[in-house]
Amino acid sequence: MADAPGPAAPMSAPAAPLRRKMIAGGCALLLLPVVPRLAQAATILAVRTWPADEYTRVTLEMDTELKAEHFTLDHPHRLVVDIEGVRLSAAINDLVSKIRPNDPYIGTVRVGQNRPGVVRLVFDLKQDVAPQVFTLKPIGEYKYRLVLDLYPKVAQDPLMALLKDAENDPLAGILENLAQDSPTEAPIPSVEGQKLPPVARKQPDEDVAPPLPRATPGARPGRPILIALDPGHGGEDPGAIGKRGTREKDVVLQIAHRLKKLIDAQPNMRAYLTRDRDYFVPLNVRVQKARRVQADLFISIHADAWIKPSARGSSVWALSQHGATSAAARWLAKKENDADLIGGVNLGAHNAQVAKVLLDLSTGAQINDSIRVGTQVLNEIGKINQLHKNRIERAGFAVLKAPDIPSILIETAFISNPQEEQLLRTSAHQQRIANAVLSGIQDYFSAHPALARRA
């Protein structure tokens, strides 16, 4: 009789550790889908809102790039945004209190955990919107950002904004004729008629200076000379920041408002602001706005900064198509042209290619006219402030590339210099800058009336 089967032979020594490794590896595989899910929960660092007549921007800053989906609902109008990989937190709940009563687009917002790992934002809207939702990678002081731009379905027309600003003005009829005669094209959003932001150390009777006595010839029979004033930066993009915390975007907006008041007080001149409050405007849109209102001159207003606090003085810049005048000029132009990266532009927008083409069309004639007007403005500024250089400087600023409008960029002072930062904070010095720029504008059009507007 055959022997009964004996007990199983013991496992060999090398086989036992191998089996334990396989079991451990299997456990690890089972755990892998769970551990990363816990690790990927993002932290909302900050929530910011920028309401304006042109559009409202909502920004969520976070430590990790996230995916978001959105859709709109009618009756009533709502925007729904689902954000994946985030949990409810105090920062995201703070969005509710950030919505201002005067926001033209958002009435209220509701925040809730829609499902595990997904937070839902529901914006109750005051009107129908065309939303743009996109993400931005870290740059400068910012981490990852989720940006919600709420545009009106029908964009506002800058020419209509000019008419609104001139309701009680005898030149309103002229502006209305200009609006009727303008070429038909997609309107560029704009805002006008807002109150001057408060400025530090306001002095009595400084906001409006009397019109200067110099006569200014008309740009075209029956219409005023139109100056497009472009306060740099805004919204998400603060520009340069001084040692005392002075932000470039605030100072240049205040100067632009003062200059607009001076220009509007002249008998045959009017000013138009590319932004009149604290919100971001892409560089190419600033150019498009000036062209849409058929501006005779474009002036971008900034406050310079440098790595050393000793740098000081005002400067005026014109466009260069073939390289900057110095290494510092190249650095400055790159810093200003990076505004779109900092402020946040949806590069997937349908007009991105159109914008690039527009900004490559500048002509030699435009640059020559820009140098002429820039020289006049620089001479006047030199009477009230030290100049960084006694001549016009040139670099490839994107905002100066309107092909048919003389365009200059003014660096009013070095905000990185403690003494000049203090001057920029005072209403008295802001008014002196505005007066000087107006004098330069008038000198230009007095000497070159044919350049005011080519038929």
Q: Residues 283, 390: one domain?
A: yes
- Domain total of the chain: 2
Mean pLDDT of all residues belonging to the chain = 78
- Write out the E strands in 197-296: 225-231, 269-273
Task: Give residue 268's pLDDT.
Answer: 87
Burial of 254 (0-12, 13-18, 19+ CB in 10 A): buried
Q: Residues 235, 250: one domain?
A: yes
Q: Residues 258, 362: one domain?
A: yes
Whether 226 contacts 296, CB under 8 Å:
yes
Q: In the structure, what pLDDT confidence band is assigned to residue 89 with cuts at 50, 70 and 90? A: confident
- Residue 51: phi and psi, rounded to 5, are -80, 140
pLDDT tens, residue by residue, 185-235:
333 333 333 333 333 333 433 444 333 334 343 445 557 899 999 999 999
CATH number of the domain where residue 111 is located: 2.60.40.3500
Whether 132 is covered by a domain: the verdict is: yes
Q: Residues 443, 420: one domain?
A: yes
Q: Residues 355, 231: one domain?
A: yes
Question: Which of 75, 114, 81 lies closest to 95, judged by CA?
Answer: 81
Task: Report d(CA 358, CA 133) in Å as an integer.
Answer: 25
Task: Give residue 348's pLDDT.
Answer: 62
Task: Report d(CA 266, CA 261) in Å as an integer.
Answer: 9
Q: Residues 145, 168: one domain?
A: no
Domain final residue, candidates 94, 116, 151? 151
Q: Residues 109, 164: one domain?
A: no
Whether 443 is covered by a domain: the verdict is: yes
Task: Give residue 241's pLDDT.
Answer: 94
pLDDT tens, residue by residue, 64-85:
888 899 999 999 999 999 999 8
- Whole-model pTM: value is 0.76
Confidence check: pLDDT of 254 > 50: yes
Task: Give residue 115's pLDDT.
Answer: 87
Q: What percent of the chain has pLDDT over 70?
A: 69
pLDDT higher at 94 or 8: 94
Domain final residue, candidates 120, 136, 151? 151
Residue 209 is classified by DSSP as: P
Domain final residue, candidates 106, 133, 151? 151
Whether 18 is covered by a domain: the verdict is: no
Q: Residues 127, 190: one domain?
A: no
Whether 176 is covered by a domain: the verdict is: yes
Q: Residues 280, 426: one domain?
A: yes
Instruction: For residue 324, give its domain range.
Output: 158-451
Indicate the range of 217-226, 338-347, 387-396 predicted with least confidence: 217-226
Give the count of beta carbons closer than 10 Å to the beta carbon of residue 393.
22
| Residues, the chain | 455
Whether 48 is covered by a domain: the verdict is: yes
Q: Residues 105, 236: one domain?
A: no
Whether 26 is covered by a domain: the verdict is: no
Confidence check: pLDDT of 335 > 50: yes
Question: Which of 331, 310, 300, 257 lies closest to 421, judged by CA?
Answer: 310
Confidence check: pLDDT of 102 > 50: yes
Give the count of beta carbons closer than 10 Å to the beta carbon of residue 77.
17
Q: Residues 321, 421: one domain?
A: yes
Q: What percent of the chain has pLDDT over 90?
A: 47
Task: Give residue 395's pLDDT.
Answer: 83
For residues 248-266, give the mean pLDDT: 97
Q: Residues 340, 249: one domain?
A: yes
pLDDT tens, residue by residue, 271-288:
999 999 999 999 889 998
pLDDT higher at 443 or 354: 443
Q: In the structure, what pLDDT confidence band is assigned to residue 347 with cuts at 50, 70 and 90? A: low
Confidence check: pLDDT of 399 > 70: yes
For residues 397-415, give the mean pLDDT: 91
Helix 427-447 to helix 364-381 angle (10° resolution) is 130
pLDDT tens, residue by residue, 142-178:
999 999 999 998 776 666 666 666 555 544 454 555 5
CATH number of the domain where residue 203 is located: 3.40.630.40
